[in-house]
A and B are shown apart, each in its own frame.
Chain A
Amino acid sequence: MSNIDFQRSLSPYGAPADSAPRWYYRLHIDPILVVLLSVVIVYGLVVLRSAVDGNEALFNAQLQRMGMAYMALIVAAQIPPNFYLRMAPLIYLLGLLFLVLVLFFGVTVKGSQRWLEVPGLLRFQPSELMKLAVPMAVAWYLQKRSLPPRLKYTLICLVIIAVPALLIGRQPDLGTSILVFGAGISVLLLAGLAWRWVLWSLVAMVAVAPLLWQFVLEGYQRQRILTLFDPQSDPLGAGWNIIQSTTAIGSGGLFGKGLFQGSQSYLDFLPEARTDFIVAVMGEELGFVGIALLLVLYLLIIARGLWLAAQAGSTFGRLLAGAFVLTFFVYLFVNVAMVSGILPVVGVPLPLVSYGGTSAITLMAGFGIIMSVRTHKAW
């Protein structure tokens, strides 16, 4: 191991081994990232305050969840990357087991079977765990191999990614499935997957698309895609969400109608205003400026995250941290694109802003891991 230590000390990107670590690195916290995250969270709470329309209980519940999310971040940051590395395969296999269990014993909520329940004790979504476990497993698998990965290893990685993604898609939970898939692919892309393979895969996907359309997609999923192109074909049914959300955003204009003044959300035209469509509330009440500010904050978080990832002390750490950052982006892109009518409606919350705690806790745990790989000493 001393060999690696030596190399790290030479690396222009790794933490300088000789300089005394800053105080906050001893706490395994990156203050810049924490501040950026906190700004987004507070901003999100302000908008949520409007979206809950005076429902104090909901707002307080979200405050509590955010507290838990910070805890998750701090705890995840304290655990050394080495532990994640060793646990990666175990967590992944455990997650797979849970997903299979969900398939048979899961609790059905709103038509999809996503939850595992130990009656009276706890209830959780294994798919949420997979958002962390899949990139961890891929990074674990690749860190032992020379990069860029060879075809064989790439294919094995694809299997590691595809099995849980497909299981989650079966629940059905297309949104999470996309996120899990995106998280896994992010690792491969950061590991140097050849661009021509990426290109070929895209070509292949376009070729297979009609088959997917015909045999894989469910009727309602097809409907959602059709609706994207012609929302007015069923304005009160399938098109309702997208018509109302684009109306909300569009009517906001440059500066918005003012906080707490959004008629679309206050008059309940906007569906899921607290959760998946909260960016429409922001767009309506705070206008283009309001969303742009959020997007800039997100961009800064991504930049800082990638910067931290690049300075990680190991390949595993780099890949894992980088993949989390990109997953975060997939989250926000899919959500905002969906709400503004670029992508079909899939259930993906706006990271750190939407009401509902599970995704915020997972995300913050992910940021904790990013900080962990940056701040822990060589291992």
Chain B
Amino acid sequence: MALELSIKDQNQEVELFVRRAITMFVLVVLMLGLIALRLLELQLWNHDTYKSRSDDNRIRVQTLAPPRGMIYDRYGRLLADNQNAASLALTVDDMDDLSATINLLTDVLQLSKQQRTAIYERIETSRRPDVALVVIDSLSESQVARLAVNRHLLPGIEVVNQLVRFYPFGRVAAHAVGSVRRLTDEDLRNADPVQYSATTFIGKRGVEAYYEQQLHGQVGYQKVETDALGRVRQTLDVQSPSQGKALRLHLDIDLQQAGVTALDGRRGAIVALDPRTGGVLAMVSPPAYDPNIFVSGMTETVFAELRSSSYVPLFNRATNGQYAPGSTFKPIVAMAGLAYGTTTWDQVIEDRGAFQLPGQERVYRDWAWTKDNSGGQGMVDLRRAIYRSSNVYFYDLASRTPIKDLVSFAGEFGLGSNLALDIPHASAGLLPDPAWKQGAKGLPWYPGDSVNMGIGQGDLLATPLQMAVVAATLANRGRRVSPRMLLETFDSNADSTDAATEFSGRVGDVGGRATQLALEKVNAEDWENMVQAMEDVVHRGNQGFRGNGTAWAYIGQDIDYRMAGKSGTAQVVEISQGEEYDEETLSEFDRKHAWFIAFAPVQNPTIALAVLVENGGGGSSVAAPVARAVIDVHMAQQQAMAQHAVTSSNRFVAR
């Protein structure tokens, strides 16, 4: 060891080391030079490429959903509002482990099993995994806080503020205003994919659906800086979306409320029109649903209940419920008889409570008929036939009026068609004629069919909306109007209002508008007489049982304005010959429907309505008080406005 050491030549070793160190240093410099070259390549020569790549990384263009236009009633009360809701959105692409993240989310937010399933369902129906998808609509404040704390554990999850629809009046205006629903793939196929790229809700029912285009607005864009997890760090540039148009409806929420209250939980419908314009003042259809649950989301069971309930709350009875109009059809038969010369105001018949066609056995009974044949109205002229609602008079009249004339005349009142301008899904009812009967039943038109039609029974069906048009046409002395929901649209942010006539095409127009309607050719005097007869229905009292208007006892004794009306009681099941109608023995859904059509004031009417109470019983006793309750509210309003010298033509000013 010591020997070898002494052999070593220190100087030589130091020189060797120095040479090697210098060589290595040169190598070091060369290799650092290589790195410097690489850096120059990245940072100098290809700088632009990497610069734009870095910008592409961080900058994303996002679309911004436009706020939906508001919906107001005729006096500017908000029917459909937008509210800010904290929603939970997730971007599938930004998640490492979807199910683990959702498990954690379930713990953090204490979600129920259904909510969890709902999240998965929404992810499955999602269109794009790289776009934030709202999976929970309204988070509570404590949920938002817990999310904030656990944010770092939940990549791809963010809380977004979303404007969601809110219906302040809930079920009161549900069927009239309609509701929005979560946008589905199918909606997207039918809609402009650019305009709807950020939209989460679309109008699905009622006004919300029909005026979707106007309410929706224009999509906006923003450039945002996002991090590697897709979270927005800052906004670089915004092109704001423009809010959809605000709608002002003819609807009067007070009348709407009055109708709901008056029906008091009974199934039925009320449609009130402004006879001057056809504007729908009220459209009530209880039982209703709360439209807000379509926004916040509902559980399967709630939805199943809504759908399967035998009271069909989702069904709009006002526009789609089709019922035999019963005696409310009588004024039409009367006017047809006058128009086609089959009766006059002076013609008198004897009503003994029953009617038979010549040579036939079948007995057509009056509503006042009893087994002992003590019923019957006695000597009846047309005016009395209306205010006493004599069936026999109209059996006789209808049997003598040519069916084609009766049908075409009734058709001009809007029966058998949907006259509404902006209620496309309203039903047309059924106005039967010989051709229809031959086609649908394969049977010829019997004289008995005409007899039944005389009192609004048989196959004849009408919706409350259609009967409201009938009421309005009578109120207008033959001038028919088309129902409409929309009063006007206006810019949500400006004061300017657009014309109310912004309809994207008339819906359900009846053919032959070019030719003058037969009902317009009827004498003005005949219309005036009919109005008086209908006035008697309400106001003729203290004349003994056979002298009073049918509705007087129920609504006519303490009324301080003039109102014209006509009651109707429609059979649901046929009562066999010789038997009496006994409410007690019939099941709930077999009882008679109660109708009442009315308008007020008699001179220059401002409201015309139709009330239907499903399986309610007598029209005068059940439906007439409901009609009166609604009209009372309207008249009080009119009076108050007259006192304040505020007319309905005053300019509406947005909040």
Interface residues of A (CB under 8 A from B): 3-4, 7-8, 10-11, 13-14, 144-148, 186, 189-192, 244, 246-254, 263-264, 266-269, 283-284, 287-288, 291-292, 295, 298-299, 302-303, 306, 309-310, 315, 318-319, 322, 326, 329, 333, 336-337, 340-342
Contact = CB atoms under 8 A, between A and B. Distances in A.
B57 interface: yes
Given A247-B54, A269-B227, A254 B21 contact: no
Nearest to B58: A263
Given A267-B228, A342-B35, A254 B43 contact: yes
A310 B17 contact: yes
A264 to B, nearest CB: 6
Interface string B65-89: 0000000000000000000000000
A144 B44 CA distance: 51
A295 B36 CA distance: 9
Contacts of B503: none
A257 B78 CA distance: 51
B35 A333 contact: yes
5 contacts: A14-B14, A191-B17, A291-B39, A295-B36, A333-B32
Contacts of A148: 16
B7 interface: yes
B11 A11 contact: yes
Given A303-B25, A337-B34, 16 more contacts: A8-B10, A146-B7, A146-B8, A147-B16, A190-B17, A190-B21, A249-B39, A250-B54, A264-B54, A269-B228, A288-B43, A291-B39, A310-B14, A310-B18, A337-B38, A342-B35
Contacts of A329: 28, 31
B229 interface: yes
Contacts of A341: 38, 42
Interface stretch (B45-53, B103-111, B445-453, B603-611): B45-53
Contact of A3 (B6, B13, B42, B54): B6
A249 B29 contact: no
Given A148-B16, A292-B36, A250 B50 contact: yes
Nearest to A257: B54
B38 A340 contact: yes
Interface centre among A190, A254, A291 (most CB of B within 10 A): A190
Interface in B110-132: none
Interface residues of B, number: 47
B53 A192 contact: no
Interface in B333-386: none
A251 to B, nearest CB: 4
A267 B32 contact: no
Contacts of A248: 54
A287 B46 CA distance: 13
B57 A247 contact: yes
B50 A315 contact: no
Nearest to A147: B13
Contacts of B560: none
Nearest to A4: B10
B315 to A, nearest CB: 51
Nearest to B43: A288
A144 B50 contact: no
Contacts of A244: 57
B586 interface: no
B20 A189 contact: yes
B440 interface: no
A11 B10 contact: yes
A267 B36 contact: no
A336 B21 contact: no
Contacts of B8: 146-147, 315
A238 to B, nearest CB: 16
B500 interface: no
B44 A253 contact: yes
A288 B47 CA distance: 11
Contacts of A303: 25
B228 A302 contact: no
Contact of B25 (A292, A298, A306, A318): A306
B304 interface: no
Interface in B243-299: none
Contacts of A288: 39-40, 43-44
B138 interface: no
A333 B13 contact: no
Nearest to B5: A144
Contacts of B226: 267
Given A250-B42, A306-B25, A342-B35, A318 B17 contact: yes
B62 to A, nearest CB: 16
A329 B31 CA distance: 10
A247 B50 contact: yes
A340 B42 contact: yes
A306 B24 contact: yes
B158 interface: no
B29 A299 contact: yes
Contact of B43 (A144, A145, A250, A266): A250
Given A250-B50, A253-B44, A254-B44, A267 B227 contact: yes
Leading 9 A-B pairs by shortest Cβ distance: A250-B50, A251-B54, A267-B227, A250-B42, A268-B228, A288-B43, A269-B228, A251-B50, A253-B47
Given A246-B50, A251-B51, A341-B38, A283 B17 contact: no
B645 interface: no
Nearest to B42: A250
Contacts of A254: 43-44, 47
A150 B16 CA distance: 15
B28 A249 contact: no
Contacts of B636: none
Contacts of B32: 295, 298-299, 333
A57 to B, nearest CB: 14
B225 interface: yes
Contacts of B233: 266-267
A148 B226 CA distance: 59
A146 B43 contact: no
A306 B21 contact: yes
B21 A250 contact: no
A144 B4 contact: yes
B1 interface: yes
A310 B36 CA distance: 28
B205 to A, nearest CB: 43
Given A3-B6, A310-B21, A283 B57 contact: no
A189 B24 contact: yes
B23 to A, nearest CB: 8
Which of B5, B11, B43 has most A Cβ within 10 Å? B43
A306 to B, nearest CB: 5
A283 B46 CA distance: 14
Contacts of B53: 247, 250-251
Contacts of B18: 13, 310
A96 B126 CA distance: 57
A306 B20 CA distance: 10
Most chain B CB within 10 A, of A267, A269, A309, A336, is at A267
Contacts of B28: 299, 302, 326, 329
Interface in B609-632: none
Nearest to A291: B39
Contacts of A269: 57-58, 227-228
Contacts of B51: 250-251, 253
Contacts of A340: 35, 38-39, 42
A40 B383 CA distance: 110
Nearest to A326: B24
Contacts of B21: 190, 306, 309-310, 322
A337 B53 CA distance: 21
B228 A295 contact: no
Contacts of B47: 250-251, 253-254
Interface in B423-445: none
B43 A283 contact: yes
A371 B20 CA distance: 20
Interface string B207-234: 0000000000000000001111100010
